[in-house]
Amino acid sequence: MASSAASRNGAPRGGGGARSLAGGNLRSSSYKSRPSQLPGSTLRRSSTGSFAAAGDDGVPGRVRVAVRLRPRNAEEMVADADFADCVEVQPELKRLKLRKNNWDSDTYEFDEVLTEFASQKRVYEVVAKPVVESVLDGYNGTVMAYGQTGTGKTFTVGHLGDGDTASRGIMVRAMEDILADVAPETDSVSVSYLQLYMEAIQDLLDPTNDNISIVEDPKTGDVSLPGATLLEIRDQQSFVELLSIGEAHRIAANTKLNTESSRSHAILMVHVKRSVVSQDDTLSIENGNSSHFVKPLRPLIRKSKLVLVDLAGSERVHKSGSEGHMLEEAKSINLSLSALGKCINALAENCAHVPVRDSKLTRLLKDSFGGTARTSLIVTIGPSPRHRGETASTIQFGQRAMKVENMLKIKEEFDYKSLSRKLEIQVDKLIAENERQQKAYEYELERMNQEAQNRIAEVERNFAEALEKERLKCQMEYMESVKKLEEKMLTNQRKHGSDGIIRNECNGEDQVVSVSDEVAEVRKLLQNETQRRKASEEEVNKLNTRMGQLMQSEAGGDGEILRIHQLLEVETQKKKKLEEEVMILKSQLLQLSYEADQSRRYMERVGSGNGLNGTDSPSVNNGEKAPVGTLFEQVGLHQILSYLESEDANVQIHAVKVLANLAAEEANQEKIVEAGGLTSLLMLLRKFEDETVRRVAAGAIANLAMNETNQELIMTQGGITLLTMTAADAEDPQTLRMVAGAIANLCGNDKLQMKLKSEGGIKALLGMVRCGHADVLSQVARGIANFAKCESRAATQGTKNGRSLLIDDGALPWIVQNANNEAAPIRRHIELALCHLAQHEVNAKEMISGGALWELVRISHDCSREDIRSLARRTLNSSPTFRSEMRRLRID
Ligand code: ADP
Ligand code: MG
């Protein structure tokens, strides 16, 4: 029966003959080689950094149970002298026999059976040391003594061994091992020492604190006592002192409560916090090392807890109320212990419900039974047959506890503090590096800005200097050459004494040569100037590009860029100014070329014996491609036209002069009109009050008006109105001459007769005679002649029937009055006009009454030009009205 009971209740024994409770499938590790070493490969830890959650894999670890037999004490020696012990131990078989009577006994197997001769050292080594090692490895651990009062629980667990080190109990020895193993710089050990009595937890380190509550982490289910004093232990000595203080407090408290230590549970909690460094590929901390094949280090903290419990005497469970307590009180005293028994029963039987929450003790020891801690239980028994019943129930408790399976788990978490310290250092480093780079960048930017500014300033200076020099030089040269030309012209005039519009005469090739030289020189200057301008343009472009780069590289330097932008704008303005100056120089050159051209032509004519300009029209030149033409190509027509709109009056004047000179060449006229030059000139006439501009513009229009297509364009663009307006308010004879010349040209167009008359062209022409200048009168006369010629042609063709529009507009009196003008050109135009008018019979009456007949008769007699003389004669003869009038007046 005994053996059957033993085999029924027996638990598997520790393997490998290890003389410790850490047998079975628990790793038996070497004590010395353990620090910072990871547990065996079967262990898997959570890599999330949080406490391993319930349900994570762990190592199965059954609650280990040892039984310790106390030697007979003095009293037993006497009282039980005649009786044999009720127990018999077989330590080598790890068996214990409980005698039922003289002939029968039950045999029990335990993980360890400790005889009455077992030393405290050995008890520690087989019961507690494996748990302590586990705790140092990061597991929770529990060592608990259970047994009847007086069987040696306190002696086993809490004996301080003041006088006799050999008798030191588990608490003292465990702390000794822990302190020897931890590293003071990185690890910490702290303790709480508590007493649980009648479901109240008292702080043995602070007696005033006598109702500490248990706090459960809702997530992990871990219990803690935040209200308990927690003292850090640095050395063994202070720990022993702490234990004795706790013991003194315990005695004092129990006296106050009128109880004995044996009725309360004493609990020592040792918290061990260790830093370990593990390698993990899920988190990179020191990426500075990433180029080497070293896995990043991962700082971890392992928190473990060793709970050493000296339980209240187990006999109370069965003898409640036996010592004078009321039943309820006695129940309360023993509530925790009976709850522990129930829980262990439930766990041993694999019940679905374990009443952990029934008492404070079971709540505190939640992790020790059926939890994640490594747990060793030492049951203490006495040898006395008088307590056989208590001993049997204690043994039963131990047997049931052996069936409780725990699942050991390491609890580690990130060392967030050290991680954040490391990261902070790294961030500091990065910030410093960033600041350094920022400074370097700003310095570089400033340097580049400075450089750019210096360069701009230098270019500006050089450019302005060169330009001023060049301008002065050109001006001087220009003045000189004009002076020379004037001098030469004067000499020639004196020599030849001839008159006419161009009265220049010179002594042949010398002047041509010198003028050509000058032209060549000025052209060279112009080329130099153009080159310089190009160089400055390139410089400006370069600066622009540089600016672009600066803008790209400098995101925050807007102010600086704005400033450089302004500089650039100023530079661009300057460039524009310079271009305009160049334009002026060019136009001056153009003038010079033009004059030189004129001289050359004049000389050629002189050379060929023709001293007079064939026509007195303001249009002068229709020869072969002159230097003017070449310049025209160089400058570009559009550029010239754009200068017409310049805000600088000087530039405008030069531009209009250039345009006028270009317009004087028939070859250019079409291009000018196509490019909108005519419109621009007409606009100038309208807007400009400057007499020079008006004169030159009118001259240009006059030149353009030589061409039939342009004549029509001038009319459709309202040119005649502008010309008549100018005719009305201009006083400068040369302006009037140009305007008159332009109208005179229009007068020669058959298609425009009516429009010219209706828009006041004829009256404007006649109005200009007020100035009396021969040049103006000559153009007026030419216009009248042209108009009359067109009218007579139309009359001959039968397309015109009415009276002459000239007569309608009152031109006849002036015609008659100037028919014998002493200026030959005027006289000749009037003579022709009279002939043309007379050819149309419808005009005869008016002409007669206006006195024109007398003039015609005079012309037919006295005109120096034979062709005109005979024309007048033919005209008079062919008109019946004139003939009859002449007969009436008896003119021959
Ligand atoms: P408990 O705490 O279980 O009530 P104690 O530890 O107070 O029992 O022990 C009662 C007495 O027995 C004490 O005087 C103690 O010194 C002594 N004692 C207990 N166990 C032993 C032992 N193994 N060897 C010698 N004396 C012991
Ligand atoms: Mg005790």
**pLDDT score recorded for residue 326:** 56
**Residue located nearest, by CA, to atom 5 of ligand 1:** 152
Highest mean pLDDT among 227-231, 850-854, 865-869 belongs to 227-231
- Span 724-773, pLDDT tens digits: 888 888 888 988 999 999 999 999 998 888 899 999 999 999 999 998 89
Q: Which atom of ligand 1 is nearest to the CA of 120?
A: 23
Q: What is the mean pLDDT of the chain?
A: 80
684, burial (CB in 10 Å: exposed 0-12, middle 13-18, buried 19+): buried
Query: Do residues 550 and 452 touch, judged by C-beta distance below 8 A?
Result: yes
Better-scored residue on pLDDT, 40 or 861: 861
Confidence of residue 42 (pLDDT cuts 50, 70, 90): very low
Please work out whether the CB of residue 676 comes within 6 Å of at least one atom of ligand 1.
Answer: no
How far is Cα 365 from Cα 820, in angstroms, rounded to an integer?
A: 148
Beta-strand relationship, 141-147 and 374-381: parallel
How far is Cα 100 from Cα 392, in angstroms, rounded to an integer?
A: 9
Confidence of residue 279 (pLDDT cuts 50, 70, 90): low
150 CA to centre of ligand 1 in angstroms: 6
pLDDT of residue 402 exceeding 70, the answer is: yes
319 CA to centre of ligand 1 in angstroms: 21
> Which one-letter DSSP state was computed for residue 59?
E
Residue count of the chain: 892
469, burial (CB in 10 Å: exposed 0-12, middle 13-18, buried 19+): exposed
Residue 742's nearest CA partner among 771, 773, 774, 713 is 713
Beta-strand relationship, 374-381 and 64-69: parallel
How far is Cα 835 from Cα 529, in angstroms, rounded to an integer?
A: 57
**pLDDT score recorded for residue 34:** 30
Query: Do residues 785 and 832 touch, judged by C-beta distance below 8 A?
Result: yes
The backbone torsions φ and ψ at residue 308, rounded to the nearest 5 degrees and listed phi first, read: -110, 120
pLDDT of residue 268 exceeding 80, the answer is: yes
Q: Would the CA dihedral through 545, 546, 552, 557 be positive or negative?
A: negative
Residue 724's nearest CA partner among 750, 758, 775, 692 is 758
Confidence of residue 142 (pLDDT cuts 50, 70, 90): very high
880, burial (CB in 10 Å: exposed 0-12, middle 13-18, buried 19+): exposed
Helix (H, G, I), strand (E, B) or coil at 164: coil
How far is Cα 49 from Cα 47, in angstroms, rounded to an integer?
A: 5
Q: Which residues are paired to 307 by β-bridges?
A: 142, 269
pLDDT of residue 423 exceeding 90, the answer is: no
Confidence of residue 555 (pLDDT cuts 50, 70, 90): low
Instruction: Answer yes or no: is 259 a known binding residue.
Output: no
How far is Cα 300 from Cα 737, in angstroms, rounded to an integer?
A: 108
pLDDT of residue 91 exceeding 50, the answer is: yes
DSSP annotation string for 635-698 = H-HHHHHHHHT-S-HHHHHHHHHHHHHHHTSHHHHHHHHHTTHHHHHHHHHHH---HHHHHHHH
Q: Which of 418-422, 423-427, 429-433 has the lowest mean pLDDT?
A: 418-422
- Span 621-675, pLDDT tens digits: 434 444 555 555 666 788 788 878 777 777 778 788 888 888 888 888 888 888 8
How far is Cα 158 from Cα 143, in angstroms, rounded to an integer?
A: 11
Tokens of 195: 């007493």
How far is Cα 700 from Cα 683, in angstroms, rounded to an integer?
A: 13
Query: Do residues 141 and 129 touch, judged by C-beta distance below 8 A?
Result: no
Please work out whether the CB of residue 387 comes within 6 Å of at least one atom of ligand 1.
Answer: no
312 CA to centre of ligand 2 in angstroms: 7
**pLDDT score recorded for residue 446:** 93
Query: Do residues 245 and 158 touch, judged by C-beta distance below 8 A?
Result: no
Q: Which ligand is nearest to the CA of 145?
A: 1
Please work out whether the CB of residue 169 comes within 6 Å of at least one atom of ligand 1.
Answer: no
> In 305-415, which ranges are continuous DSSP H helix?
327-348, 360-364, 388-401
Q: Which residues are paired to 196 by β-bridges?
A: 201, 265
The 3 state secondary structure assigned to 87-147 is EEEEHHHCEEEEEEECCEEEEEECCEEECCCCCHHHHHHHHHHHHHHHHHHCECEEEEEEE
Q: Which of 52-56, 394-398, 475-479 has the lowest mean pLDDT?
A: 52-56
Instruction: Answer yes or no: is 165 a known binding residue.
Output: no
171 CA to centre of ligand 1 in angstroms: 15
Please work out whether the CB of residue 262 comes within 6 Å of at least one atom of ligand 1.
Answer: yes
Q: Which ligand is nearest to the CA of 261?
A: 2
Query: Do residues 352 and 359 touch, judged by C-beta distance below 8 A?
Result: no
Please work out whether the CB of residue 70 comes within 6 Å of at least one atom of ligand 1.
Answer: yes
Please work out whether the CB of residue 316 comes within 6 Å of at least one atom of ligand 1.
Answer: no
887, burial (CB in 10 Å: exposed 0-12, middle 13-18, buried 19+): exposed
> Which amino acid type is present at position 286?
E
Better-scored residue on pLDDT, 38 or 559: 559
Beta-strand relationship, 59-62 and 405-408: antiparallel
**Residue located nearest, by CA, to atom 9 of ligand 1:** 152
How far is Cα 589 from Cα 476, in angstroms, rounded to an integer?
A: 13
How far is Cα 447 from Cα 567, in angstroms, rounded to an integer?
A: 17
> Which amino acid type is present at position 384?
S
**pLDDT score recorded for residue 329:** 63
pLDDT of residue 228 exceeding 60, the answer is: yes
Query: Do residues 744 and 783 touch, judged by C-beta distance below 8 A?
Result: yes
Instruction: Answer yes or no: is 153 a known binding residue.
Output: yes
**pLDDT score recorded for residue 383:** 93
Please work out whether the CB of residue 394 comes within 6 Å of at least one atom of ligand 1.
Answer: no
Confidence of residue 322 (pLDDT cuts 50, 70, 90): very low
**pLDDT score recorded for residue 497:** 57
- Span 326-358, pLDDT tens digits: 566 667 778 888 999 999 999 999 998 999 999
DSSP annotation string for 518-540 = HHHHHHHHHHHHHHHHHHHHHHH
**Residue located nearest, by CA, to atom 18 of ligand 1:** 152
Tokens of 886: 């002449």
How far is Cα 359 from Cα 199, in angstroms, rounded to an integer?
A: 7
73 CA to centre of ligand 1 in angstroms: 9
Select from 155, 265, 315, 390 the residue to mutate for testing ligand 1; criterion: most ligand atoms less than 8 Å from CB. 155
How far is Cα 477 from Cα 483, in angstroms, rounded to an integer?
A: 10
**pLDDT score recorded for residue 504:** 39
pLDDT of residue 262 exceeding 90, the answer is: no
> Which one-letter DSSP state was computed for residue 633?
H
- Span 199-221, pLDDT tens digits: 999 999 999 998 999 999 888 88
Q: Which atom of ligand 1 is nearest to the CA of 70?
A: 23
Better-scored residue on pLDDT, 711 or 12: 711
How far is Cα 888 from Cα 890, in angstroms, rounded to an integer?
A: 5
Please work out whether the CB of residue 384 comes within 6 Å of at least one atom of ligand 1.
Answer: no
pLDDT of residue 513 exceeding 70, the answer is: no
How far is Cα 280 from Cα 294, in angstroms, rounded to an integer?
A: 10
Please work out whether the CB of residue 151 comes within 6 Å of at least one atom of ligand 1.
Answer: yes
Structural element, H or E, at residue 457: helix 416-496
Please work out whether the CB of residue 23 comes within 6 Å of at least one atom of ligand 1.
Answer: no
Better-scored residue on pLDDT, 439 or 576: 439
Helices 558-607 + 637-644 axis angle, to 10: 110
Q: Which atom of ligand 1 is nearest to the CA of 116?
A: 23
**pLDDT score recorded for residue 97:** 94
Mean pLDDT of 539-552: 76
Residues near ion ligand 2 (CB < 5 Å) are 153-154
Please work out whether the CB of residue 73 comes within 6 Å of at least one atom of ligand 1.
Answer: yes
How far is Cα 828 from Cα 819, in angstroms, rounded to an integer?
A: 8
> Which one-letter DSSP state was computed for residue 486?
H
